[in-house]
A = this chain, B = another copy of it.
Amino acid sequence: MRSTMQEGQLTLSRLVDYSRRVFADTTVSTWNGAELETVTFGQIGDRAAQFAHALAKLGVAPGDRVATFLWNNDAHQVAYGAVPAMGAVLHTINLRISAEQAVYVIRHADDKVIVVDATVAPMLARYMASTPNVEHVIVANGPASAFDAPAGVTVHQLDELIAGEPTSYAWPELSERAAAAMCYTSGTTGDPKGVVYSHRSCWLHAMQVCMRSGMGLAQGDSVLAVVPMFHAMSWGIPYAAMMAGAALVMPGRFLQPEPLLAMMAAGRPTFAAAVPSIWQGVSAQLDVVPQDISHLRAIFVGGSAVPHAMIRKFDGYRAPITHGWGMTETSPLGSVAHPPAGLDDERAFGYRVTQGRILPAMEARLIGEDGSEQPWDGDSVGELEVRGPWVTGAYYSPDGAVADDSKFHDGWLRTGDVAHITSDGYLTLVDRTKDLIKTGGEWISSVELENLVMSSPAVIEAAVVAVPDEKWGERPFVLAVVKDPADRDARKHRAFLAATLPRWQLPERWAFVEEVPKTSVGKFNKMAIRASYAEGAYEVVEARD
């Protein structure tokens, strides 16, 4: 039997128009290092239309990729609106990936246009020799001269480019299944993998963010979105804010504790979102210079597990932490740790430290080592697999070939996380199937790092494992065997890596041994290495800049 309901496509142009009209006065503020510079959703809507006209003049057609190389700021919010609404695809490039990875994703996504913050324009300019697909670079928050254009790339200045363009645009009618945005994850070994969000998945996810089981964003909220707009769509906040009429407070490039606390004092946000390492820093700063942050009705924390002590500390600030779990592949919200109603504080705490309750639209299952589905009993562990309307079913492949099918299992996404789930749906991650290092919300592949360390002629073999770090959650620890005792010099090896890796990936902790422990089949025994490290069995050398 057929329903009589209208087709009702969930397309993001609707959010641009809606927020511009009914939340015309709601503010979007960006920290400039000294104060908040404020525009409104009305102005964002005007600029989105102008930007779409400008992009169309540059030849951007439906389906074309328009990339951003931007911090969280109002220009980025304009791009979030304009690019999908006009039918193009917003590719948010992570500012923190290596040059090699950046070149890879720009080529792989076949970006035609890149919008770049003036502050990072020199970095982008260095990639351009290797990215012939890029035709236009648009500099935001600074002059066009900030970008040293190679031949074949036309440079524009954002404000100049859109000036004079009409402030309305006849957005095309799109299928809600059309691509809206893409984000690459470097969470696995090998090349980064692209996830292509649809209008539908962005829209449904934004509704979940506005539901009380999500972040409960609503008009009257003011959201400090520290989580980068280049990382998993800033956890859905940009679209949810447009849907709900929540004001935005954007940190720009100022992600250190002092400016974050300054912008909190200035903007008095009611809600904030960032990875644990950010809050670790904020808390350390609050120990030095106390400040009332109780204007935050909630702090949403994800990206890696929140230490229990941090939750208690922020409870003390009357700015309670809500813990959540997700991945770039899951848009990202998969579970949120709102405790069941009616519990006393201590019992509720037991729920708040989990990765959270699986959300209604998200299906989850645990697959044991023998391939069988494990019960939700709060005890049985298995690899977490998920599916749902905002979960990716594949990685992007320009030629339609299947990319890394090993991550999917009968239509479910294999998360690579080993977990258990309680009977009432609360997820706890206990380990990872692969030995990735999660540091400050970003991934380092231990395998890649090992390979790089071992690429030095001085090194015989080297294993890398994740070790706990108060500030970053995890950091890499390198256990190396060198040829010459004179090469037991951590600073030297670190300098070797610095030629290839971004600074945040460089390991600080090193130990030199005669042999790396191995399993019976000759693989590095990482469990044993982690255990020995924890016991203090290694003579650890610290190398920092």
Contact surface of A with B, Cβ cutoff 8 Å: 1-10, 14-15, 18, 21-25, 63, 65, 89, 177-180, 194-198, 200-201, 204, 207-208, 210-213, 216-220, 243-245, 338, 340-342, 357-358, 360-361, 363, 376, 387-396, 411, 413, 423-425
Contact = CB atoms under 8 A, between A and B. Distances in A.
A2 B196 contact: yes
B389 A8 contact: yes
Contacts of A392: 4-6
Contacts of A89: 1
A179 B212 contact: no
Contact of A361 (B14, B208, B211): B14
A8 B360 CA distance: 12
Nearest to A15: B360
A6 B411 contact: yes
A237 to B, nearest CB: 15
Contact of A211 (B6, B14, B18, B211): B211
Nearest to A426: B22
Contacts of A217: 212
Greatest chain B CB density within 10 A among A179, A195, A211 is at: A211
A204 B211 CA distance: 12
Nearest to A386: B6
A4 to B, nearest CB: 4
A405 to B, nearest CB: 13
A63 B3 CA distance: 10
Contacts of A394: 4
Contacts of A219: 213, 338, 340-341
5 contacts: A1-B178, A4-B396, A5-B201, A8-B389, A21-B424
B360 A18 contact: yes
Given A210-B211, A210-B213, A218-B212, A361 B3 contact: no
Contacts of A14: 360-361, 363
